Amino acid sequence: LTEVERARVSAGRPLADIMPRVLERLRIEKRKAESQIVTIWQQIVDPRIAAHAQPVGLVRGTLFVTVDNSVWLEEIIRYRRREIVERVQDAMGKEVVKKISFRVG
């Protein structure tokens, strides 16, 4: 089949046939973004912060970051949160990471 013929055939396919594949691809992209966050985190965050805070998950645009103690949590939230959010959003996109939730863990 030529590309035009394939396009015509696929254009007539029911949405129920197409959606599972689309959803599967979206999940792959989400997992890819999650794995990229871990790698990018080390590159974009101050090494002192990265030594005490690590991303642990990305759920519906919220990046969850575990901080190893309350002193560093306070430092990050009080003085560095905005900078970290901006750097992560610049690297990953605002649609991928809308906000960051820091917690001791």
Question: Residue 9: what pLDDT?
Answer: 61
What pTM was estimated for this model as a whole? Answer: 0.70
Question: Residue 12: what pLDDT?
Answer: 63
Whether the predicted pLDDT of 101 surpasses 90: yes
User: Which residue would you say has higher pLDDT here, 73 or 33?
Assistant: 73
Round to whole Å and give the CA distance between 98 and 86: 10
Per-residue DSSP letter, 89: H
| CB-based contact 98:75 (threshold 8 Å) | no
